[in-house]
Amino acid sequence: MIGAGTGPLRILHLEDSDLDAELIEAELETLGHPVTVERVMTRSEFAAAAVAGRHDLILADYVLPTFDGVSALGIARQQCPDTPFIFCSGTLGEEVAVEALKNGATDYVTKQRLDRMSRTIVRALAETRAREDKRAAEAALQALNETLEARIAERTRELAEANAALQEQIAERERVEEALRLAQRLEAVGQLTSGVAHDFNNLLTVIAGNIEFLERAVTDERSKRRLDMMRGAAARGANLTAQLLAFSRRQRLEPTPVSLNTTVVSMRDLLQSSIGGAIQIETTLQDGLWPALVDATQIELVILNLAINARDAMAVGGRLTIETANVTVNGIPARPEQPQPGEYVMISVSDTGTGMPPEVLARIFEPFFTTKETGKGSGLGLAQVFGFVKQSGGGLRVDTALGEGTSFKVYLPRVESAATLIAAPPIDCVRARPPGSKPVLLVVDDDEGVREVTATRLSEAGYAVREAASGLQALASLEGNPCVDLVVLDFAMPGMNGAEAAAELRKRWPAMPVVFVTGFADTAALRQAGASGSDAVVLKPFRDGELERKVAGVLAARRPAGVRLVSDRAKA
């Protein structure tokens, strides 16, 4: 394509000679392309016609009667600088031609060699098109650069916003982790505090009860004053333990059906942040996993504790594997921590660390035993895991090899079907006893001294008292003879605690009333265990006949109309 578009080639021709104009236009026909020629001869005509975009090419004679080609070139460069300008003259010498080119002419042709006209025009149009294409490319590149800069600026802004959001997330995670560490420290302190408070309350119950018994036998004033001082000291001790319990806000284990697969998945981020990025976490979770009967909060702490121990055994990084499975144990346990035969939900925490020699493996569950440097470990972590798992009715197995790693397998009881629990048939204890019998109470407490004080006070109040040292003993005693009017049950006991014992009692003997005796002031935990109001709870150490009053109140509330207890008849 010769012209700027698809139409004919538009030429502005400055020529005063009709003959020369005719010869030149005849030569233009050799281009093989349609041509339209606008011919002018004067300055004014040329200036009017030389408009940008109107012509594709300018042909100009160099010498005219009232005008010259140099002036025409100047007008063209000013009014239509992008239109190629070619001189066509019979008097154009080489020096003049060179000067014309310097002044901006595109090319020149002598009238003596018009045969070169076509090639010169084609070359001039090609050069013009090339310049236009170059300018278009430069403009497009400039536009692209400007757009690129804008995109870079936008992307930089987006990255800055993302970085700010990431920093905020990091800060929030650090805050949460710090809160978690604080909660764990408080948990440890609370656990120690509640244990100490519980033991002190048992001791104070024995001390205060025996002071009360001694006061009945002592007659001299000096001894009475000393007993009074002892009673005051015991009361101050009770107040102190009450303050400790208020700080710890301790609850006993609360076993509930727990999906260990869900627990592991929800803890993954916490575990990764706790053990560091150098250790890879892998999980193998069994489909159709049985629900475990376990305290949901405590099992999370067990998994975290085992993961941190595994991290400490892998000083240069490694792999931590957490696995769950349904397991049936058939063999008899060879070590105290191993599970009894039965069906369990198993969760294992394995590492690729240093492993343990036999002498260390034999002592890992001992309290305060640790192989870590001074200040790096308390030696209580695995002891706590052991205590929790055994109290939950499960067990542990440890597989280890020096240089290969260690695997802790935790076995937890599965949730049994409620359909297997069959309530015992009701027994008419009124007909089973002789007329005029005393109400029968079952006192359940693992502490022998506390149990003796409780039983003595209730016996002196006119009741027949049976005793049991644990929740299991209480259930066995009731299986043998369920004719008991009320159970006085310690809330905090090892193995089956008071809450669990009360739950079993209500399943088998739904009408059996229970009064809880506890050193814990945690009303929420007592309420969950079935304590209906403050009348069903007696705090240790006993104060001012509170035990006798609440026992009598519960019995009075459940006896049939027209029936009086032994204590009522004694008052009549």
Angle at 241 between CA 235 and CA 247, to 5 degrees: 140
Q: Mean pLDDT: which of 27-36, 147-156, 323-332, 495-504 is highest?
A: 323-332
327 pLDDT tier (thresholds 50, 70, 90): very high
Contact 109, 86 (CB under 8 A): yes
DSSP letters, 474-501, are HHHHHHH----SEEEEES--SSS-HHHH
Question: pLDDT tens across 72-84, in order?
Answer: 889 998 999 989 9
pLDDT in the model for residue 467: 93
**What average pLDDT does this structure show over 162-182?**
74
pLDDT above 90 for 100: no
Grouping H, G, I as helix, E, B as strand and the rest as coil, residue 79 is helix
Residue 536, pLDDT score: 79
- 137-162 average pLDDT score: 84
E strands, 390-480, in order: 395-401, 405-413, 440-444, 464-468
Confidence of residue 521 (pLDDT cuts 50, 70, 90): low
**Average pLDDT for 229-238:** 79
pLDDT of amino acid 79: 92
- With a pLDDT cut of 70, the percent of the chain lying above it is 81
Q: Which residue has the higher pLDDT, 95 or 38?
A: 38
| 572: confidence class by pLDDT, cuts 50, 70, 90 | very low
User: Which of the two residues, 314 and 191, has the higher pLDDT score?
Assistant: 314
Q: Work out whether strand 342-350 and strand 395-401 pair parallel, antiparallel, or are unpaired.
A: unpaired
Q: How confident is the model at residue 529 (pLDDT cuts 50, 70, 90)?
A: low
Per-residue pLDDT at 336 = 77
Q: What value does the mean pLDDT take over residues 105-121?
A: 84
Q: What is the pLDDT of residue 68?
A: 83
Q: Name the CA radius of gyration of the chain, rounded.
A: 52
Q: What is the pLDDT of residue 171?
A: 80
Q: What is the pLDDT of residues 452-510, one digit of tens each?
A: 999 999 999 999 999 999 888 888 888 888 889 999 998 888 878 888 888 888 888 88
Query: Of 264, 402, 379, whose CA–CA distance to 323 is shortest?
Result: 264
Q: pTM for this structure?
A: 0.36
> What pLDDT, on the 0 to 100 scale, is given for residue 523?
55
Give the dihedral sign, CA 234/237/243/247.
Answer: negative
Q: What is the DSSP letter of 34?
A: -
513 φ, ψ to 5°? -80, 150
Residue 432 banded pLDDT, cuts 50, 70, 90: low
In the 8-state DSSP scheme, what is residue 45? H
Once rounded to an integer, what is the mean pLDDT over residues 542-546? 83
The pLDDT of residue 562: 36
Q: What is the pLDDT of residues 402-414, one digit of tens each?
A: 988 999 999 999 9
CA dist 127 and 198 (Å) reads: 103
Question: HSE on the CB side for 509, CA within 13 Å?
Answer: 22
Q: How confident is the model at residue 206 (pLDDT cuts 50, 70, 90)?
A: confident
Amino acid at the residue 552: A
Instruction: Give the burial class of 59: count Cβ atoms within 10 A of its Cβ; 0-12 exposed, 13-18 middle, 19 or more buried.
Output: buried
Share of the chain above pLDDT 90, in %: 20
In 3D space, the residue among 114, 121, 12 whose CA is nearest the CA of residue 60 turns out to be 12
User: pLDDT tens, 41-66?
Assistant: 888 989 999 998 898 899 988 888 88
Per-residue pLDDT at 316: 79
Domains of the chain listed by start with CATH number: 9-131 (3.40.50.2300), 255-416 (3.30.565.10), 422-571 (3.40.50.2300)
